[in-house]
Amino acid sequence: MSSMEHQEVDLSKPQNQDLIWDLDSMARRELAERFITLFENRLCVYSESVRQLYTNYNLHFPSDLGRKMVVLPNPYAFHDTLHGIDSAAVRQTGLCVLPGRLLGKPGLLLATQMKEGGPAPKTMPFKQALAQIISNQKKIGDVFLPIMMKGDLREFDQQMPYIHLHRLQVQKLTRLSTFERDDIQQTITRKLLELYRRADSLVC
């Protein structure tokens, strides 16, 4: 078998630390792993240090790395790594995606910012909430392009994993051409639509 058919994490080489997520603080780590896997290739992953957005990747949980998750971009799909993504175009949303099953509800849920030790978050079905957000953004001439980055996989009260969403504002990518910005927007939107369609059936 050719060694090109699988990808290994070689720790002898410098790693992009933005792509190595520490899960050590997770009380329910296996649940967190199952949950984040639901978003594999459905939410793009941003690396601030190299200003890249990964749209085609695999999530690995190598045993030799302990309690870590590694985002491995597909090495055979160079065009799926988007370059020149300045951090000034990335901002927090205060929105969180939760697994509905842990709250006795189907599919994915969306909630506003969650505070550790605070009250249980108020949630909406993901599809309903996302449609409302997209509509509101469209009214002001903007688009909602959610992405995730290191630190966005979190845990509420040591019980429930959730993902805090960042968003990309393509109009702030001033160093890129209109064509490049449109291409990035279409790529993220296409993946978001896939997540939207599956949101009611995704269970961790």
Report if residue 26 sits inside a domain: yes
Report if residue 184 sits inside a domain: yes
The average pLDDT across 27-32 equals 94
Quick one: pLDDT band at residue 63, thresholds 50, 70, 90? confident
Which residue segment(s) compose the domain that 114 sits in? 3-198
pTM score of the predicted model? 0.89
Quote the DSSP letter at residue 49.
Answer: T
Report if residue 162 sits inside a domain: yes
Total structural domains within the chain: 1
Quick one: pLDDT band at residue 8, thresholds 50, 70, 90? low
Question: Secondary structure of the chain in the HEC alphabet?
Answer: CCHHHCCCCCCCCCCCHHHEEECCCCCCHHHHHHHHHCCCCCCCEEECCCCEEECCEEEECCHHHCCEEEEEECCCCHHHEEECCCHHHEEEEEEEEEEHHHHCCCCEEEEECCCCCCCCCCEEEHHHHHHHHHHHHHHCCCCCCEEEECCCEEEECCCEEEEEEEEECHHHCCCCCHHHHHHHHHHHHHHHHHHHHHCCCCCC
Report if residue 95 sits inside a domain: yes
Helix or strand holding residue 19 (H, E): none
The average pLDDT across 10-21 equals 75
Report if residue 58 sits inside a domain: yes
Residues of the chain with pLDDT > 90: what percent? Answer: 76
Range from 2-6, 134-138, 152-156 carrying the lowest mean pLDDT: 2-6
Report if residue 42 sits inside a domain: yes
The average pLDDT across 122-131 equals 94
pLDDT in tens, 166-188: 999 999 999 999 999 999 999 99
**pLDDT of 87 over the 50 cut:** yes
Query: Quick one: how far is CA 108 from the chain centroid?
Result: 14
pLDDT in tens, 139-158: 999 999 999 999 999 998 88
**pLDDT of 12 over the 50 cut:** no
What is each CA distance from 198 to 38, 42, 97, 127, in whole angstroms? 10, 10, 14, 9
Query: How many other C-beta atoms can be found within 10 angstroms of the C-beta atom of residue 117?
Result: 6
Report if residue 178 sits inside a domain: yes
**pLDDT of 38 over the 60 cut:** yes
Residue bearing the bigger pLDDT, 6 or 103? 103
Report if residue 204 sits inside a domain: no
**pLDDT of 1 over the 50 cut:** no
